Structure 1
Amino acid sequence: MVAAELALYGITAPPTSIEGNYGYLHAYSGDPLPQALSAGEGERLAIAQTAMKYYPCNYYIQSINDSVLQLAERADLPLEAIESIVVYTVQAAIPLVCEPIEQKRRPKLMIDAQFSVPFNVALGLVKRRISFVDFTPAEFASPALERLMDKVTCHVDPVLDAQYPQAWPARVEVRLADGRTLVAATQYAKGDPRNPLCLAEVIAKHRSVVAGVVDERTDDAILDFILSLETRSDFAELTRILKKVVLPG
């Protein structure tokens, strides 16, 4: 809306902001398909194909986390027997969430952890969950997590890379002291429109993020309003509810 108002006053964007060398298309793909912008125009809403992040980390790590949690649920995966953890991903992910590996294995801040494959992998295996509440300095320095982070390496898989960016797949291999290798793979991360979250999962994600910041009664009111938007006529009511969070009392 702000952009539209600025345009009314003659303040416009660069003419090649979409297709230019530093434009939107090239920012998201090395081989963009500009025709996709107008494909199916008027027939479908692109917003309905938006992915939701289920985990509190960079999107390249989402499918990795799904794979890790599949492995974490296995009864035949003793953490003390893990010799190495090999993560296979797409080329675009490597410089962002895998390298430099020494730094990725020792996150200091939350933003470091959100862009660290080793931290997410170790957290998922140790806690069998990857939740917002676990992205804390105490977990960053946890000896149990550090031991596993040191065992994580990342590699590009050409087969997975060929699917990108239409898919953001991953495969995780855990190699054990007894010679076994346990494998889990994910093509579409939980929250991808091709692997959508159910309503209960969306609500659970929401509550995990606002816990400790929004009291339960206020949060119930927020959820009640949002989940009944189609019947609401006074959207100022939501603003009044949210003000209680921003301006308590």
Structure 2
Amino acid sequence: MTKLNRRSFIQTSIASVGGLMLTPASAYADATVAQKPPAQSPAGPDDIVALADYCLQTTYDNLPSAVIAITKNQILDTVGAALGGTNEPGAKEIREFTIDMAGKREAAIWGTSIQVPAQDAARVNAIMADALDYDDTYERSFMHPSVITIPAALAVTDMLGNVSGRDLITATALGVDLACRLANSAQPGVDAFIVGWHNTSLYGYFASTFVAGKLMGLTRDQLVSALGIAFHQASGNSQAHLDGALTKRMGAGFASYAGVMAARLSQRGVQGAKNILEGRRGFYYQFHGNKYSRDFLFEGLGSTFAATEVSFKPWPSCRGSHTAVDAALTMFAENKIEAPDVESITIYNGPGEYLLLDFPLGKKQNLTSVVDAQFSNPWVVACALVDHKVGFEHFTAAAIRRPDLLAMVKRINTMEDKSLARPGGGPGATRLDVSLKDGRTFTKTVAFAKGEPKNPMSPIEFRQKFLDCTKKAGMSSAQAQALMADIQQLETLPKANTLTTAMAL
């Protein structure tokens, strides 16, 4: 690995564009600080310039071997989740709509031989990848980075035709890193869901633009302009989570479409805003009350990568629910607890998880959609108790009407416990208190669910997840194994667009 560092990128930006002020006074690690004037100097470049330089100058040889390995796992995981989500509500409709609209044949809809315009393919494939809620998570910022980078990366790879596996890995790793850096830097210490943002959607506009611009070989000015075009569209709120709406699954797709389109428009000469992050109506000012940390944005730039902190999901539900699933499965197995034995269960979570997954209790018990089920701790705990597992079969229109699961959900209560919040951000711990009909009680607390770097899935579990997803899509075991092998040796492929061909059913 050839090491690049933050200083080299910033110095390059200063030399070409002007003085960039990066002082302790401009770094706000405490999100409770008072609002301040925009940090941007009229003569200095916006911080987006240094990020664009980092994106464009970083090569495959600059990536640590661990990041390369994790990035390939992210691609494998995302492709599997997307194929498994092909016919899920929301994904099915957007796929059929896109096929009906047709257009120039540029990039494949995964799992088919159908090609559509690249930005349309990115949108469909991202929505498919998000539909099962089985995509990876950057927990510190409550964001799913792969679903907002990999669909765009593969769509552009198909469109260009000459992108190598190494180039695909590099663009993906950078898109993930930059999305996570931006999310970390904005209102640090504040839960985005409590504020009302859906970080996956919001930062997806930037991530997909970085990825597309990198692969398309945009110049610095073109990439900055593309990011300005994307910023003009950036959005994503968490109301869909609260309402159990299918649009929760679509935000990553809207962002991926916009990022690919922004890069293409910029390449044709369309100009976007330049003072994207620190301008008077820039991202930090307009979206975050001008509360941000430049230290979090630039710390370790070029030497540390967000991919090393990504968690992979062992269960198809909101990542915040996984400490509850883990606690439930472990407790019930260790103590041989069966559903008829249980008098009551109380789930305790910190403020963020409580508001998203536990409250209001009536809504979390009386589900009206599959999305409701994916965001209900009482539901996943009931599934773990009754069926001793949590899987695809628990997140269907039929499952949420099962009498045995509905009866168990009614015995589950939820409570807020601020002590369970995770310091530094990310999904907090879950404590389960279980009372049995014979008078015995049990307690189990899980702070780090399976799938986190501190508690990873085993290689066998990870591969089996991919095979389960591809089987759900109707792919044969032989085809799935061959696709897995292609992704695992991606850096050897001279043309990475062979991946989407290998996915076609």
TM-score when normalising by structure 2: 0.44
Q: Distance in 1 between matches of 2:457 and 2:448?
A: 12
Hey, what does 1:201 align to over in structure 2? 461
The answer to whether the Cα contact below 8 Å between 1:58 and 1:114 also exists between their aligned partners in 2 is yes
Q: Secondary structure at the match of 1:87?
A: strand
Hey, what does 1:238 align to over in structure 2? 499
Alignment of structure 1 residues 56-75 onto 2, 5 Å? 56-75=316-335
1:228 positional shift? 1.8
Deviations 1:96-116 (A, max 9, x none): 222221121122322111011
The answer to whether the Cα contact below 8 Å between 2:353 and 2:428 also exists between their aligned partners in 1 is no
Aligned in 2, Cα 1:38/1:5: closer, same or farther, shift over 3 Å?
Answer: farther
Q: Distance in 2 between matches of 1:60 and 1:162?
A: 11
Over 6 Å off, 4+ runs: none
5+ long unaligned stretches in structure 2: 1-211, 213-259
1:125 positional shift? 0.9
Q: Distance in 1 between matches of 2:283 and 2:309?
A: 20
Hey, what does 1:114 align to over in structure 2? 374
1:74 positional shift? 2.8
Indicate whether 1:22 and 2:287 are aligned. Answer: yes
Deviations 1:134-185 (A, max 9, x none): 3223321222211210011111222212536155211111111222221222
Identity of matched residues, %: 25
Q: Secondary structure at the match of 1:155?
A: strand
The answer to whether the Cα contact below 8 Å between 1:171 and 1:186 also exists between their aligned partners in 2 is yes
Which piece of structure 1 moves more, 52-61 or 15-24?
A: 15-24
Hey, what does 1:229 align to over in structure 2? 490
Hey, what does 1:96 align to over in structure 2? 356
Hey, what does 1:128 align to over in structure 2? 388
Aligned in 2, Cα 1:6/1:90: closer, same or farther, shift over 3 Å?
Answer: farther
Q: Distance in 1 between matches of 2:374 and 2:287?
A: 25
1:198 positional shift? 2.2
Hey, what does 2:437 align to over in structure 1? 177
Hey, what does 1:220 align to over in structure 2? 481
Q: Secondary structure at the match of 1:15?
A: coil
Equivalent residue letter for 2:483: I
Aligned in 2, Cα 1:25/1:39: closer, same or farther, shift over 3 Å?
Answer: farther
The answer to whether the Cα contact below 8 Å between 1:123 and 1:145 also exists between their aligned partners in 2 is yes
Larger Rg: 2
Q: Distance in 1 between matches of 2:362 and 2:485?
A: 45
Q: Distance in 1 between matches of 2:273 and 2:368?
A: 40
Q: Secondary structure at the match of 1:73?
A: helix
Instruction: Flag the structure with higher helix content.
Output: 2
The answer to whether the Cα contact below 8 Å between 1:84 and 1:151 also exists between their aligned partners in 2 is yes
Q: Distance in 2 between matches of 1:19 and 1:7?
A: 23
The answer to whether the Cα contact below 8 Å between 1:170 and 1:185 also exists between their aligned partners in 2 is yes
Deviations 1:8-50 (A, max 9, x none): 6322374356534634998xxxxx7652222222221112211
The answer to whether the Cα contact below 8 Å between 2:434 and 2:443 also exists between their aligned partners in 1 is yes
Q: Distance in 2 between matches of 1:20 and 1:54?
A: 37
Q: Distance in 1 between matches of 2:285 and 2:315?
A: 32
Alignment of structure 1 residues 130-169 onto 2, 5 Å? 130-161=390-421, 163=423, 165-166=425-426, 168-169=428-429
Q: Distance in 1 between matches of 2:386 and 2:272?
A: 52
Q: Distance in 2 between matches of 1:118 and 1:24?
A: 35
TM-score when normalising by structure 1: 0.84
The answer to whether the Cα contact below 8 Å between 1:90 and 1:164 also exists between their aligned partners in 2 is no
Alignment of structure 1 residues 185-196 onto 2, 5 Å? 185-196=445-456
